[in-house]
Amino acid sequence: MANMTITEKILSAHSGKKEVRRGEFIQADVDVALANDITAPLAIKKFKEWGAKRVFDEEKIVLVPDHFTPNKDIKAAEQCMLLRSFAREQNIINYFEVGRVGIEHILLPEKGLVLPGDLVIGADSHTCTAGALGAFATGVGSTDLAAVMITGKIWLKVPPTIRFIYRGNLKEWVTAKDLILYTIGDIGVDGASYKAMEFGGEVITNLTMAGRLTMCNMAVEAGAKNAIIEPDRITLEYVRGRARRNYQLYHSDPNAEYVEIKEYKVDKIEPQVAFPPLPSNTKGISEIDRIEIDQVVIGSCTNGSLEDLRLAAKVLRGKKVHPEVRAIIIPATPSIYLEAMKEGILEVFLEAGAVLAPPTCGPCLGGHMGVLAEGERAVATTNRNFRGRMGHLKSEVYLTNPAVAAASAIKGRIASPEEID
301 is in an annotated binding site: yes
Alpha carbon of 271 to those of 49, 279, 308, 332, 407: distances in Å?
49, 14, 14, 22, 12
Answer whether 139's CB lies under 8 Å from 128's CB.
Answer: yes
- The full DSSP string for 230-248 is ---HHHHHHHTTT-SS---
CA distance 189 to 152: 31
Q: Closest Cα to residue 154, out of 25, 7, 53, 23? A: 25
* Three-state secondary-structure class, residue 226: strand
- Which amino acid makes up residue 109? P
- Which amino acid makes up residue 159? P
* Three-state secondary-structure class, residue 353: coil
Backbone torsion region of residue 152, taken as left when φ is above 0, otherwise alpha when ψ lies between -120 and 50, otherwise beta: left
Helix (H) or strand (E) holding 263: strand 260-265
Beta strands in 272-421 (DSSP E): 272-274, 282-284, 295-299, 326-330, 355-356, 377-380, 396-399
80 is in an annotated binding site: no
**Degrees, nearest 5: CA angle 222-224-225:** 160
364 is in an annotated binding site: yes
CA distance 304 to 337: 10
Annotated binding-site ranges for [4Fe-4S] cluster: 301, 361, 364
Binding residues, as ranges, are 301, 361, 364
